[in-house]
Structure 1
Amino acid sequence: MVEDIQAAIPLGFLLAFMIGPVFFVLLETSATKGFRAGLFFDLGVILADIIFLTIAYFSSFQLLENLSNQPGLYVFGGAILLIYGLTTFFNRDFVKGRTDIKPRKGGYLSLFVKGFLLNFINIGVLVFWLGVIIIVGPSLDNQANRIIVFFSTMLAAYLITDIFKILLAKQLRRKLTTERIRMIKKALGIILVICGLVLVFKGFLPKDKLNIEKGIEYIRE
């Protein structure tokens, strides 16, 4: 059990630094809205991860095969991400000269939902957890209690690492001006648009290029 925990901690740390839309939105939220806002957003992200993990655990190879045959899911998720990125890029919803942008009443719940949805619409996250389950499961003898301990530790390490990221991003608030906030939001919008286009592109790839099982076998080798 102790070995499982020790193996999970580095993976959780690496997961926190995987570059994607959630990574950049978390930093932007923490820098412009503060620690609590970033934390609520991150908790929403983790809830989506837990749901994906549960689905991955009970589905495994069958779901991988279905996902490979349904590239439209990538297009759907990518399109939503693309629209969100364009909205962020063109959004002018901030007060000129104000850098202390705290969420309105009830805003923390909306940030939680935002984190959840932003992670949940990315079908690539589900594919990632499926791959991890398939690779790690046999080394844990596919025992439910060991799998629960392993992934609970992994997500806890992920959350702790994200808390440090949130604290560091929060320090940037003192240096934020209206123009810098505008630049951050535009840069974030561009990143989200790129991530959305990548997902859409994956959806139009030939099915043999989307063979996830072969990719996992390649990683194993």
Structure 2
Amino acid sequence: MIQSLWEGVSMGLLLSAIVGPVFFTLIQNSMEHGFRYAAVLASGILLSDTVYVILTFFGIKFLAEAIYFQLILGYVGGLILIGFGISSLLKKKISRPNTGGIEIPTTRKRTAFAKGFGVNGVNPFVLLFWISIASLVSTKDLWQGADIRAYYFGILLTVFAIDLIKAFLAKQLSHIMTPRLMWLLNKAVGLVMIFFGLRLIWHTFGS
């Protein structure tokens, strides 16, 4: 259980390193409206991720008894991770914050939760990521229910904690996160995701 928790924390750190619409939304709103507002927004992101965890895990578990499903799932999940990795490697330098075409109007704090839930929830890559995670979990034959819960708990708690740290250090991050640094970060995240994808495919091939 401890091992699965640490694996979840490691995957959560990887997910937190992705520089995308959610990252810029969190930083932008923290700078404009303050830490408390951004913390509520991060709570909405957490709920959105939790909903995706439940949908993908139980959806895949429901289909797990189908013939060859685990093999197909392993290959598809691996390819999704590799696709994420390649996408990160091909990203160009970002000259200014980009919210992915999603308009982020100035609103009251009571709408921060809905904003965080919406920005994260409408991103199709978030769903694909959780599908790949559910695929990875399905290959862990020795994991019991407690191990799976610890793994997901590690991911969600780590992502939420890092989001709070990002919000707290938003003004500092706005100066530190130069276009070149974000470009290098995307490259590093891309390589790690490709590694996880290849490992998942290799494990599926050997099963």
Shorter-chain TM-score range: 0.5 to 0.7
Q: Deviations over 1:37-89 (max 9, x none)?
A: 11111110110100000000111286x99xx9xxxxxxxxxxxxxx983745x
Alpha-carbon separation, structure 2, partners of 1:218 and 1:172: 33
Matched, 1:16 2:32: no
Amino acid at match of 1:169: A
Alpha-carbon separation, structure 1, partners of 2:7 and 2:41: 27
Equivalent position of 1:85 in the other structure: 101
Q: Secondary structure at the match of 2:101?
A: helix
Structure 1 residues 120 and 87: CA distance shift in structure 2, 3 A: closer
Equivalent position of 2:55 in the other structure: 55
Matched, 1:110 2:111: yes
Amino acid at match of 2:101: G
Amino acid at match of 2:24: F
Q: Secondary structure at the match of 1:139?
A: coil
How many residues matched?
151
Matched, 1:36 2:36: yes
Q: So what's the TM-score if we normalise by structure 2?
A: 0.61
- Determine if contact 1:35/1:170 at 8 Å carries over to the other structure: no
Point out 4+ residue stretches in structure 1 off by more than 4 angstroms: 170-173, 216-219
RMSD after superposition:
3.4
Unaligned runs of 5+ in 2: 64-68, 77-98, 176-196, 203-207
Unaligned runs of 5+ in 1: 69-82, 94-102, 176-215
Alpha-carbon separation, structure 2, partners of 1:53 and 1:140: 19
- Determine if contact 1:16/1:162 at 8 Å carries over to the other structure: yes
- Determine if contact 2:30/2:167 at 8 Å carries over to the other structure: yes
- Determine if contact 1:137/1:147 at 8 Å carries over to the other structure: no
Q: Deviations over 1:7-27 (max 9, x none)?
A: 111211121121221111001
- Determine if contact 2:20/2:100 at 8 Å carries over to the other structure: no
Q: So what's the TM-score if we normalise by structure 1?
A: 0.58
Alpha-carbon separation, structure 1, partners of 2:102 and 2:131: 30
Larger Rg: 1
Alpha-carbon separation, structure 2, partners of 1:19 and 1:172: 12
Matched, 1:161 2:177: no
